[in-house]
Amino acid sequence: MADLEETLIIIDADAESARHLKEHLDSQGFYVEIFSTLAEFTPKLEDLSPDLVIGDLPTGELSTVARLVAPMRPRPPLIVMSQDVSSGHILSALRAGAAGFVAKPMIDTIDIDHSISRLMERVRLSRENQQYRLELEQANKSLKAGLEELQADHRAGRQIQMKMLPEHNLEFSNITFDHCIKPSLYLSGDFFDYFPVSDTQVAFYFADVSGHGASSAFVTVLLKNLTNRLQRNLRRHSSDDVLYPDRFLARVNTEILETDMGKHLTMFAGIIDTESRTLTYSVGAHFPMPILSVNGHSRYLEGKGPPVGLFDDPKFPLYKEHLAPGFSLVVCSDGLLEVINAKSLAEKEECLLETVQSASHTIASLEKAFRLDWVTELPDDIAIVSILESAV
């Protein structure tokens, strides 16, 4: 049964024969229009957009029709009707572009029905393909637009996050702080900050919020805000929590629990005192531990502590470490372990230590040593903070 939308054209000077054929095709559900000459049909071609053309035409006009319909998609096939059934005429009709040939007068409609059904099958398949393609193109366009909208949103959020990070190459006495951050999505769950808290003391912390993306980025905003407040409190002498890494972690713990976001984080918080040459620090389940390097020898810092924002009253022990001249400290998120090619976690840790030991400890050389420029699809956020004392 034909699709009601399908348009068949008959071009035949013999009005009686054309009318008979039209009646037959009408009854099959086709929309049929008759033209007695090609000249009549030509101007109507585009409006009618036929699916198939049946014509009793001389070979020259047949070629013209074939040329006219060639750009149409689907291209309508041509069926030639003719009283001349000599093989020469049939072959020249085929050469001219005919896809079917029916002898006139039509004794019955078997031949034309067979030709139409064979050719319409191709037309329908082609139309279905075209429809499917259009749908795909449309879906593509709308997916692309949706993706771009969300990406723009993430980029805006990321800009704000980047603004909250400290400046690059900040110097305190002879110590230079620098960092890099590579979020796996646009928004990062890795966060850190460093700032002087007295003439001889610099505070810093490194946080890795569970998960990544928008929800983890929320927590980093809170961290930045809390740190600002604690610094302000210190200036106002209303609280000196920021001078004590263990109390600092406890404060973060309280605020995260109170905001009730269902998020926790791992942290490392430290104070470097350039006068006493000590590093005082607390660990909130941070992993891997920071790497301390002196005179070309590197090792992980000792220490442990519970994650932050998970328990009601966690205890964060305080650790102290002597800092030899020309020391360096490299703090990174566990995302870095994921791009290190080793089998076990222990091997990855070992490889991380070796790579840090063999590199100089500027961010540029660490990025190069870990080939971070080459990493594109990051499984997790990666952040590195480098704390480097220049030789005096």
CA–CA distances in Å: residue 34 to residues 17, 25, 383: 11, 12, 75
Between 16 and 258, CB nearer to a copy of itself: 258
What CA–CA distances, in Å, run from 266 to 10, 235, 284, 308, 347?
A: 79, 27, 5, 6, 22
CB of 308 to a copy of itself, least distance (A): 15
* CA-closest candidate to residue 113, choices 204, 1, 196, 17: 1
Sole binder of a copy of itself in the list 4, 27, 86, 236 (CB under 8 A) = 86
**Is 388 within 8 Å of 363 (Cβ atoms)?**
no
Of the residues 19, 44, 133, 371, which one makes contact with a copy of itself according to CB under 8 A: 133
Binding flag, residue 72, a copy of itself (CB under 8 A): no
Q: Which stretch binds a copy of itself (CB under 8 A): 94-102, 195-203, 294-302, 318-326?
A: 94-102
Q: How many residues bind a copy of itself (CB under 8 A)?
A: 60
Q: Give CA–CA dist 93/104, Å, rounded.
A: 14
**Position among 45, 68, 261, 369 found at the interface with a copy of itself (CB under 8 A):** 261
Number of H helices, E strands in the chain: 11, 16
CA-based nearest residue to 351, from 298, 391, 305, 304: 298
Q: Which stretch binds a copy of itself (CB under 8 A): 54-62, 137-145, 290-298, 303-311?
A: 137-145
**Is residue 15 a contact point for a copy of itself (CB under 8 A)?**
no
Phi, psi of 75 (to 5 degrees): -75, 125
Distance CA 294, CA 369 (A): 19
Strand partners, 172: 175
> Is there binding between residue 156 and a copy of itself (CB under 8 A)?
yes
| Region near a copy of itself per CB under 8 A, out of 190-198, 214-222, 311-319, 378-386 | 214-222
Tell me if 208 sits within 8 A of 333, measured CB to CB. yes
Q: Is 151 in the site for a copy of itself (CB under 8 A)?
A: yes
Stretch that binds a copy of itself, among 44-52, 92-100, 168-176, 360-368 (CB under 8 A): 92-100
Contact 245/280 with Cβ under 8 angstroms? yes
Stretch that binds a copy of itself, among 171-179, 197-205, 209-217, 356-364 (CB under 8 A): 209-217
- Binning the chain into helix, strand and coil, the percentages to the nearest 5 are 40, 25, 35
Binder among 40, 149, 275, 350 for a copy of itself (CB under 8 A): 149
Interface region with a copy of itself, contact rule CB under 8 A, candidates 82-90, 269-277, 287-295, 307-315: 82-90
Options 13, 15, 136, 345; binder of a copy of itself; rule CB under 8 A: 136
List, as own/partner pairs, every contact residues 298-303 make where C-beta atoms lie below 8 angstroms and the sequence separation is at least 24, other chains included: 298/353, 298/356, 298/357, 299/353, 300/349, 300/353
DSSP secondary-structure letter at 325? T
Position among 228, 276, 358, 390 found at the interface with a copy of itself (CB under 8 A): 228
User: In the complex, what is the shortest distance from the CB of residue 2 to a copy of itself, in angstroms, rounded to a whole number?
Assistant: 20
Instruction: For 348, list phi and psi in degrees, rounded to 5.
Output: -65, -45
Position 104 contacts a copy of itself (CB under 8 A): no
* Residue number with CB closer to a copy of itself (153 or 275): 153
State how far the Cα of 385 lies from the Cα of 361, in Å rounded to an integer. 10
Pick between residue 39 and residue 91 the one whose CB is nearest to a copy of itself.
Answer: 91
Q: If binding is defined by CB under 8 A, does position 185 make contact with a copy of itself?
A: yes
Q: Which of 30, 35, 101, 204 binds a copy of itself (CB under 8 A)?
A: 101
Binding residues (CB under 8 A) for a copy of itself: these are: 85-87, 90-91, 94-95, 97, 99-101, 103, 111, 114-115, 118, 129, 132-133, 136-137, 139-140, 143-144, 146-147, 149-151, 153-154, 156-157, 159-160, 163-164, 185, 187, 211-215, 217-218, 221-222, 224-225, 228, 232, 255, 258-263
